[in-house]
Structure 1
Amino acid sequence: MTASVVLGLCAYTHDSAAALLIDGRLVGFVEEERLDGAKHSKAYPERAVAWLLGEAGLSPQDVTTVAYNFDGRRYLFALGQLPAHLRQPASRTRALARARSFTTVHRRYQARMRELSQRFPRARLQPVQHHRAHALYAFLASGVDDAAVLTVDSLGELQTTTTWHARRDSRLTLDLRHAVNDPASLGYAYGAITEHLGWRRSDEEGTVMALAALGDPARFRDVMSWAIRLTTDGFTLDPTLLALRVLSSRYGRVTSAFADVTCPPRPPTAPVEPVHADLAAALQERTEQVMLHLAARARQLTGSGLLCLGGGVAMNCVAAGLIAQAGIVDEVHVPPAPGDSGTAIGAAAAAWLDATGLPPTDIAQRCYLGPAYPGLTLPAAPRPGLHAARLAEPAHHLARHLAEGQIVGLFTGELETGPRALGHRSILASPLNTGVVERLNATVKFREPFRPFAPVVLADKAADYVRLRQPSPFMSLAAPVTDLTRDQLPAIVHVNGTARVQTVTSEQHPFLADVLTAFGDITGHPVLINTSLNIKGKPICGTPDMALDCLTESGLDALLIEDWWVTK
């Protein structure tokens, strides 16, 4: 019997990635940026696909289905909005440009499908509605059997916010309960104001989220409430402040009226002033209000006590954490890759589900899905100025050096999934080390001094350090810290009194759990700072060469790469 080989793709847009299902089982997933070195890579995922097929002993001719994470035919639905936009004074000047841009994207989609048919001549091509791919992945990654699924992003064809009811027994059903269409888009609004504040949209929204804790939302609260208005079943955007979307970088996203009532656009190299922090604070506050409203609505529409979040806005860990603390639902689940890269898994899952009616397997609670280098051997001098030595007890060696105040890169096991370093491609440091945050930002990560660092903690000790009612294995939720943390580990506490925590068990990550245990034996606290193994502007290191580059180009003291200790 011929095997079913489903290749899921996020391709030709930001966060290029590929996933492979063989007979319904997820066998691997990798983001292209981790292999080609281009952050948020927009390329066809050439290296990712080659690795997946190579690991499975397959060729492109063996692929039976290619599942693409957009259904480009749906872009034409935007043409139906044209008359309404032409009638509104605030959107009239952009209405035709918007319609043309959606038509252009539809043509590009057709060209992409032709290219994929040439790359995989024996495969059936299946476009998958973008939000359905998000929702399926978010639900399957959670491992639960019944949940509300809320997907919030910038744009998927024409949808920006969708609420689903997902159930799984012997079959899997995913029922759409409500949809919000563009131009009402929370992701668009957050990205627009991120860009206005001088950072890159679709990349540096997390910087704006961090800056928000330093500002006073009251200054621009009324403006933001007018720009993003709550409705009974969702929200809308005011086009006099947030301009009607045109799918072209030539068209700005905020209006001159918005700048008049807030601040002029900040050049990326200009100083960050209090007005910028205040605007970020008002944006973040409004985002939290909208997300809490949407979560309550999802609970009402589905009756489920569990909530899965997907889409780029799900990466707003402060908003996700507030939902988890609010009591709206019993638990909040965010997959390790809630952004577009994860839709490669969701698209593959949709293709398998549509063909068989059966849920795919081996997706739940998995985040280590990419390339590994178990037999790695390094020379004594892997680079000029570097020295490598093999360790007999790497976990205890690492814990001891961290306790002594060193900042160390960790490269071990399979490459993790998503934007957060989860202990396989991490930079670790002691939260007890005076000045560690300043040193990490200034000499290792080369980023803004107000950016916080997240803690990783043994799951059975987490309650001592954060007030969180559930596990957080993928570092997805910001939670209030305890008095113990505030008093003894201030390095992991953001200005708003929260920490974006990762909880670790020995089953999930045996090596990191051993390191935390050993560090706790030495210091009394099984807690470490965990940030991604990269420097600003570059992706998380996916290969040994990238990790060695990170060591030589940053202020890292050492790198533990598998069981090799590399120092300068």
Structure 2
Amino acid sequence: MITIGISFIGDLGHDSSAALAIDGKVVYAIAEERLSRIKQDNSFPIQAIQACLDYKNLKIEDVDEVVFGWPEFKEHHKATFKLHLSGKMKVDLKHLAFGYLRSLTSRSIPSIFAKNNFHPKKITHINHHLAHAYSVMPYLKSQESLIFIVDGRGIKESTTVYLKNGMQLEQLKRINYPNSLGVYYAEMTSMCGFRKYSDEWKVMGLAPFGEKSFDLEHLISSENGNHVVDYKTLMGVEKLHLNGKEIVRPDNDEVAITNSDLKDLAHSAQYHYEQTILKFIQYYTDKYQIKSIGMAGGVGLNCKANGYVMRELQLDEFFIQPAATDDGTAIGAALFPFAKNKNLKPDTFYPYLGNEYSNDAIKEVLDKYHLTYTFLDNVEADAAQELANQKLVGWFQGRDEFGPRALGNRSIISDPRTAEMKDKVNEVVKYRENWRPFAPSLLEEEAENVLKNIKTSPYMILTDYANPEYEDKIPAVIHVDGTMRPQTVNKEMNPRYWNLINEFKKITGVPVVMNTSFNLKGEPNVSHPTDAIRTFFTSGLDVLYLGNYKVSKK
């Protein structure tokens, strides 16, 4: 059986994507942004769908079922209208009515497919949170697990709790929008001067620079397996009165780092989210006596809270879908028919699901642009020496990562041994705020030596602290509060990246490199060799490795 899962809900959503599953296993997945080069692209993922088909030389007629990780558009419009009538949400009724009519005609899914000359055999729509849940379920090793889906909004729901038993799901709890932890964090992001539903990670990065000065328990709390968000105060908020102070949302994102109140607001917002999500999850782990949990939904990318939950609850298993936001629902949607037919089996999540380019294909691109290059038998050893010489390395290998994290196939890599390296990468490559942290990639075998708590974290989605003996060895990847967001690199999962780090260890004695996404500010991560070459020549990168080719700027 062949299925394609799709994440798409038009102007109402973000991060459109597609995934291909064959006989119950996801074999390919890619976000539309990687191909269109439009960050968080929410357009119909025609390029991603075609890429799924091309991967196995398929036609759309070969696909048994196409599944969307959202109900039909009209259901979203109906739910929004009901929220408006209930006073829980204010909307432009003319715009809503126009959108509803379009969802029945030109913007209906069959119409969109037909315009692109695609005629699937069968189209199915499933609940958004269910699609998130299926993106997690097969990758949990335990027979029994709890799965928490936490985001801004599905159609009606904002948080859903499932009990996984084998390959079956039972819904335990549903909390409806706008009582939403995603709304809370989005509005706090806006209050700090950042873009909500886009820059939440900036709040996480800013939080350690502030103090817990503001009591936000009246805005967010959790009791008896429920959470309560004061959405009436928060939605569209321009100013907050907290502890006798008036906090006004700034006009731009450059104010926050110099404003003590905004730094304190970021810290307080993060702290209260951590306390709320911990209490919420702990209610269910205590009630069901289960120490294996899974998580998805955009809020699942809050790596600092994830690490806190992991440590406090002493979990046996904590799998967070690396593509936790809406792009990951394409995976769950693709797997849904197999679960429905009881043909879904446990699996290990492999994040390298996108495009791969052979050395021949790479050489063709290099020759097209008349670039200077060298073919190397051992690129890992050469790159490790360049890193040890303080060079900034573009690293383009294997298949694209699926999800927002660069995990060693589309990465910018540097030496973590000096704090100045972080500033250098910010200034000459990323062109972003110098207070934001970078992440370490380390050999999985060295995790116990480098990290205080984590033994394995292959998807860079938990925070931890460095062991004391490593605090001075890798200052570039340790944030101001002592935390870092590590990726433990498994030799079997990514042998070339593991070899690179191991070669760096042989030279320096340090089994860690600094890793960040291979992109410029405001762009998606690179996907095609041409993207990597353009980024290389328009930034301060010193050397680029594409497959076995080393490219210089000379």
Distance 1:82 1:47 in 2: 35
Query: For residues 108-127 of structure 1, what are the structure 2 equivalents within 5 Å?
Result: 109-110=103-104, 111-116=107-112, 118=114, 119-127=117-125
Letter in 1 for 2:223: T
Note the residue ranges of structure 2 that are not aligned, 5 or more in a row: none
Shift of 1:149: 0.4
1:395 matched residue in structure 2: 380
Change beyond 3 A, Cα 1:185–1:301: same
Distance 1:128 1:258 in 2: 41
Shift of 1:434: 4.9
1:88 matched residue in structure 2: none
1:249 matched residue in structure 2: none
Aligned 8 A contact 1:458 1:503 in 2: yes
Aligned 8 A contact 1:331 1:470 in 2: no
Shift of 1:328: 5.0
Distance 1:109 1:289 in 2: 40
- Secondary structure of 1:21's counterpart equals strand
Query: For residues 334-353 of structure 1, what are the structure 2 equivalents within 5 Å?
Result: 334-353=320-339
Alignment equivalent of 1:237, drawn from 229, 249, 252: 229
Matched, 1:197 2:181: no
Change beyond 3 A, Cα 1:23–1:279: same
Alignment equivalent of 1:548, drawn from 511, 530, 533: 533
- Secondary structure of 2:486's counterpart equals strand
Distance 2:252 2:63 in 1: 44
Aligned 8 A contact 1:133 1:343 in 2: yes
Shift of 1:120: 4.0
Distance 2:95 2:131 in 1: 23
Aligned 8 A contact 2:464 2:484 in 1: yes
Alignment equivalent of 1:371, drawn from 352, 355, 361: 355
Distance 1:404 1:207 in 2: 31
1:264 matched residue in structure 2: 248
Query: For residues 212-251 of structure 1, what are the structure 2 equivalents within 5 Å?
Result: 212-218=207-213, 220=214, 222=215, 224-243=216-235
Q: How many residues were matched structurally?
A: 540
Query: For residues 429-468 of structure 1, what are the structure 2 equivalents within 5 Å?
Result: 429-468=414-453
Deviating more after overlay: 344-353 vs 541-550: 344-353
Letter in 1 for 2:280: L
Q: CA RMSD in A?
A: 2.3
Deviating more after overlay: 446-455 vs 60-69: 60-69
Shift of 1:298: 2.9
Shift of 1:465: 1.4
Aligned 8 A contact 1:240 1:257 in 2: no
Distance 1:517 1:66 in 2: 42
| Per-residue deviation, residues 17-50 of structure 1 (Å, max 9, x unmatched) | 1001123232211111111111101111122111
Shift of 1:381: 6.3
Change beyond 3 A, Cα 1:514–1:328: closer
Letter in 2 for 1:542: S
| Per-residue deviation, residues 167-199 of structure 1 (Å, max 9, x unmatched) | 22xxx2011100110111111111122123222
Change beyond 3 A, Cα 1:103–1:140: farther
1:412 matched residue in structure 2: 397
Letter in 1 for 2:237: V
- Secondary structure of 1:473's counterpart equals coil
Query: For residues 136-535 of structure 1, what are the structure 2 equivalents within 5 Å?
Result: 136-168=134-166, 172-218=167-213, 220=214, 222=215, 224-243=216-235, 253-257=236-240, 261-268=245-252, 270-272=254-256, 273-327=259-313, 329-354=315-340, 356-359=341-344, 364-374=348-358, 375-378=360-363, 386-535=371-520
Shift of 1:485: 2.0
Shift of 1:133: 0.7
Distance 2:405 2:392 in 1: 18
Q: TM-score, normalised by structure 2?
A: 0.92
2:70 matched residue in structure 1: 70
Aligned 8 A contact 1:389 1:566 in 2: yes
Letter in 2 for 1:176: Q
Q: TM-score, normalised by structure 1?
A: 0.90
Change beyond 3 A, Cα 1:315–1:232: same
Change beyond 3 A, Cα 1:511–1:539: same
Aligned 8 A contact 2:66 2:120 in 1: no
Change beyond 3 A, Cα 1:527–1:379: same
Distance 1:371 1:143 in 2: 27
Aligned 8 A contact 2:25 2:335 in 1: no
Aligned 8 A contact 1:142 1:335 in 2: no
Shift of 1:254: 1.4
Aligned 8 A contact 1:143 1:365 in 2: no
Distance 2:267 2:92 in 1: 30
Distance 1:100 1:138 in 2: 38
Aligned 8 A contact 1:39 1:539 in 2: yes
Aligned 8 A contact 2:16 2:31 in 1: yes
Identity %: 29
Distance 2:137 2:392 in 1: 36
Shift of 1:538: 0.4
- Secondary structure of 1:66's counterpart equals strand
Change beyond 3 A, Cα 1:558–1:74: same
1:6 matched residue in structure 2: 3
Aligned 8 A contact 1:37 1:538 in 2: yes
Distance 1:39 1:139 in 2: 28
Letter in 2 for 1:37: R
Note the residue ranges of structure 1 that are not aligned, 5 or more in a row: 86-90, 244-252
